[in-house]
Amino acid sequence: MNTPYSPTPSRCVVVTGASSGIGHAICSELLSLGHEVIGIARNLEKELFNNKQNFFPYAVDLSNLDDLPKQLGLINQQHQSIDTIVCCAGRGQFGGLEEFSYDQIRSLVDLNFVSQAYISKAFLPAMKTLEHSNIIFIGSEAALSGNRKGAIYCATKFALRGFAQSLRDECSQRGVHVSIINPGSTKTPFFDNLNFSHGPESCHYIETKEIADAVVLILNMRPGTVVEEINLSPLKRVIKSKSLKK
């Protein structure tokens, strides 16, 4: 007789982009469930989560690739029970290709894709020694189809999705479960510095809590099952132009 699978009561989870938006919601949800959370963001204080004892903040600028391997190595040394990473950090920048400078192209690719590969590389060797571990990437609906004014942004998300697919196949024999969640327009500060946003009604956007719930769903799967990909969309796709405040 098979014994029903019981989810691991406590995980040690690295979450990037932990200070706001999707990353913040994921941290809050995991902490509420009793998991240990290592939060990474450019500016991050323990007080952000009411001084919870199982929250460990690290101020790391993921766009600084030169310093990133050393910083991730120090986190790895200080937390040797890490069994999950959730990569949420990223930003949006849109426009025709000719509107981007060469530095802007590299900056967006470095943050939205290359830093995710660095993070995975830093923690993967130890995770491969465990019976059950998870890597979860927060992608985007932009990884599913290219769009006008989004050539560079979509390219970073296509790259992340391909990376997740390849890494999943590469790591499946070692108990590492690799997943990607592709949300559509989500109610976060992502749109603060953009000249467009989702519509105002609740059916025009995704709540960050819903993405956090998807992360928990993935973590609660039995070791023999992997959730490869979750695509989340608002019921109605409505995009509004807006004027940026100077």
What are 179-193's pLDDT values in tens digits? 999 998 787 777 777
What is the torsional sign of CA 163, 108, 243, 245? positive
pTM for this prediction: 0.91
What is the reported pLDDT for 4?
44
First to last CA, the chain: 66
Residue whose tokens read 């040394």: 77
What is the reported pLDDT for 196?
67
12-241 CATH, one of 3.40.50.10540, 3.10.129.10, 3.40.449.10, 3.40.50.720: 3.40.50.720
Please tell me which of 6-20, 41-55, 200-214 the model is most confident about, judged by mean pLDDT: 200-214
Banded pLDDT at 44 (limits 50, 70, 90): confident
Q: How far apart are the C-alpha atoms of 184 and 235, rounded to whole Å?
A: 10
Residue 66 has which token pair? 């030169």
What is the reported pLDDT for 5?
44
What contacts 196, CB < 8 A, 6 or more positions away?
Answer: 94, 239, 240, 241, 242
